[in-house]
Amino acid sequence: MQVPAPFDYERATSVEHALSLLERLGPEARLIAGGHSLLPMMKLRLAAPEHLVDINDLHELDYIREEAGELRIGALARHRELLESELLGRRFPIFHDAERVIADPLVRNRGTIGGALCQADPSEDLSAACAAAHARLVIRGLGGERVVEMADFHRGPYETAVGPSEILAEIRLPLREAAGSAYEKVERRTGDWAVAAAGVCVWMSDGAIADVGVGLAAVGSSAVHCARAEEVLRGERPSEELFDAAADLAAADCSPAADQRGPVEYKRHLAGELTRRALRRAVARALG
Ligand SMILES: Cc1cc2nc3c(=O)[nH]c(=O)nc-3n(C[C@H](O)[C@H](O)[C@H](O)COP(=O)(O)OP(=O)(O)OC[C@H]3O[C@@H](n4cnc5c(N)ncnc54)[C@H](O)[C@@H]3O)c2cc1C
């Protein structure tokens, strides 16, 4: 049986309390939310924090609501809550598509969107969905809060813009009319991590794609934001030829690594094909 290295445990009662604990305990302290990524890493001794600050009582971070023209998700919202949210499914069906294929009910009952984004696993699905949705992330510290674009959030595999004494508090998704979105993933078996995955959000105007976001998972060292694919789509009327051009750019711009889930060329092919499929469904949803 794998056992973590010894650690001290503190249970935060508010965001301010969690932040002051992080400040006091220093860089060897780590937040724990659902624990579905951190605990396995601790058991494998890939992580050995001296202090765990448990944030599961911070109900102030557990919500999904519309506010100020945005859909706002608290960092402690669980996968299951995202999957069950009528509001999220209606405004951003990409998140329901993604949540249906993340892990299993056990993981979805406890794992949080904040933990998933902060883990920054390159194969993690919600980062690709957030990249496609042009999410903005609210990071809080004792000195106040700052808002970071999703494109600037990941600093590499398992690294984010969240500092050691900060907390990811909220995910903000811009709400616009005539929106459609979809997520497509290939996994080896139900509940597995992606071999490759693609998420697309489109915002239509007069039959053309006014704006678009394309994000990929598992085909780079962190979630891939496909700027060139977005550029070729923006302002154009949807067509199969246009989707082919965007899919080719998504495939060209990713950098998958060969592993037990498949060779580089297979993953690159999937990145293009899944982008094409997600585009078709996102546009159909926007127009439907
Ligand atoms: C068997 C299994 C299969 C899985 N399959 C998939 C899959 O197919 N797709 C997928 O996307 N994911 C998958 N996951 C990961 C799952 O989604 C986890 O729930 C998620 O990665 C981490 O969320 P958590 O709340 O459990 O985070 P934790 O494990 O509690 O924390 C993860 C990291 O984030 C930090 N952290 C947590 N919350 C915050 C915050 N608010 N602010 C700052 N830092 C924070 C922690 O300090 C830690 O470093 C799987 C996990 C398991 C165990």
Looking up residue 14, the CATH number of its domain turns out to be 3.30.43.10
**277-287 burial, b for 16+ CB within 10 Å, e for fewer?**
bbbbbbbebbe
Residues 155 and 190 in one domain: no
Indicate whether 246 belongs to any domain.
yes
Predicted model pTM: 0.96
Residue 285 neighbours by CB under 8 Å, 6+ apart? 93, 180, 181, 182
The tally of domains found in the chain comes to: 3
pLDDT for res 209? 98
Residues 45 and 99 in one domain: no
pLDDT, mean of residues 180-206: 96
Alpha carbon distance 31, 69 (integer Å): 30
Residue 233 neighbours by CB under 8 Å, 6+ apart? 202, 209, 212, 214, 242, 246, 279
Indicate whether 1 belongs to any domain.
no
Q: What is the pLDDT of residues 126-176, one digit of tens each?
A: 999 999 999 999 999 999 999 999 999 999 899 999 999 999 999 999 999
Indicate whether 3 belongs to any domain.
no
**Of all protein residues, whose CA lies closest to atom 11 belonging to ligand 1?**
124
Alpha carbon distance 105, 173 (integer Å): 25
pLDDT for res 222? 76
Side by side, the strands of the sheet bearing 208-217 are 179-187, 194-205, 208-217, 224-225
Alpha carbon distance 40, 89 (integer Å): 30
pLDDT classification of 101: cutoffs 50, 70, 90: very high
Indicate whether 69 belongs to any domain.
yes
Mutate to test the pocket of ligand 1, among 7, 37, 127 (most ligand atoms within 8 A of CB): 37
- Tell me, in angstroms, the distance from the centre of ligand 1 to residue 238's CA: 36
Q: Is the CB of 124 under 6 A from ligand 1?
A: yes
**Of all protein residues, whose CA lies closest to atom 33 belonging to ligand 1?**
119
**The last residue of a domain, from among 174, 194, 211:** 174
Indicate whether 117 belongs to any domain.
yes
Residues 112 and 187 in one domain: no
Smallest CA-to-CA distance from 197 within 259, 277, 252, 137 is with 277
Indicate whether 209 belongs to any domain.
yes
Contact 21, 42 (CB under 8 A): no
* Predicted confidence (pLDDT) at residue 244 exceeds the cutoff of 70: yes
Alpha carbon distance 167, 75 (integer Å): 9
Residues 27 and 109 in one domain: no
SS3 content of the chain, % helix, strand, coil (to 5): 40, 30, 35
Contact 23, 164 (CB under 8 A): no
Residues 155 and 89 in one domain: yes
Q: Is the CB of 99 under 6 A from ligand 1?
A: no
Residues 31 and 78 in one domain: no
Domain with 89 in it: 61-174
Residues 282 and 193 in one domain: yes
pLDDT for res 2? 85
pLDDT classification of 5: cutoffs 50, 70, 90: very high
- Tell me, in angstroms, the distance from the centre of ligand 1 to residue 235's CA: 36
Alpha carbon distance 125, 100 (integer Å): 11
Residues 159 and 191 in one domain: no
Q: Is the CB of 32 under 6 A from ligand 1?
A: yes
Residues 188 and 237 in one domain: yes
Q: What is the pLDDT of residues 198-230, one digit of tens each?
A: 999 999 999 999 999 999 999 998 778 899 999
- Tell me, in angstroms, the distance from the centre of ligand 1 to residue 53's CA: 15
Share of the chain above pLDDT 90, in %: 96
pLDDT for res 1? 67
Indicate whether 2 belongs to any domain.
no
Residues 273 and 212 in one domain: yes
Residues 272 and 221 in one domain: yes
Residues 118 and 223 in one domain: no
